[in-house]
Amino acid sequence: MRWGLFIFCLIFSTTAAHAKHKIFEREYVSKYCKGAIEYVLPDRTRVDCLTNEYAIEFDFASKWGQAIGQSLHYAHMTRRLPAIYLILESKKDMRFVEILTPLCNVYGIKLFLIENY
């Protein structure tokens, strides 16, 4: 009985975590990536999208801080330019763009916006 409850809670919590976004991140990657998807690096991290020019991190607007670090790491590891596709799901997400844009300018990160609202 305990295992059944544990599995139910695990499935429910996983489903609830994904339910907060309109579309899964991987679907945006599939639609917008013009290169290798989920490219595995020697340190076993994965670049969402690797093109001849860019190492691209796709992320939802609220995760802008993580996106910076990942894009810079992937760019360093692949000798490509860093880039972020920031996924906006409401007009309120523009506040994250205002935070992220100056940092992208300082660190040379190309910023693309996906407006899905």
For residue 15, pLDDT over 50 is answered with no
Q: What is the rounded average pLDDT of the residues 46-69?
A: 97
Residue 71 confidence class, pLDDT cut points 50, 70, 90 = very high
Residue 83 confidence class, pLDDT cut points 50, 70, 90 = very high
Lookup: tokens for 5: 């409850």
Task: Name residues whose C-beta falls within 8 Å of residue 26's C-beta, 6 or more positions apart in sequence.
Answer: none
| Amino acid letter for position 85 | Y
61: number of Cβ within 10 Å: 21
**Residue 63 β-bridge partners:** none
Q: What is the rounded average pLDDT of the residues 63-79?
A: 97
For residue 22, pLDDT over 90 is answered with no
Cα–Cα distance for residue pair 34/86, rounded to 1 Å: 16
Q: Mean pLDDT of all residues in the chain?
A: 89
% the chain with pLDDT above 70: 84
For residue 84, pLDDT over 90 is answered with yes
R_g (Cα) of the chain, nearest Å? 16
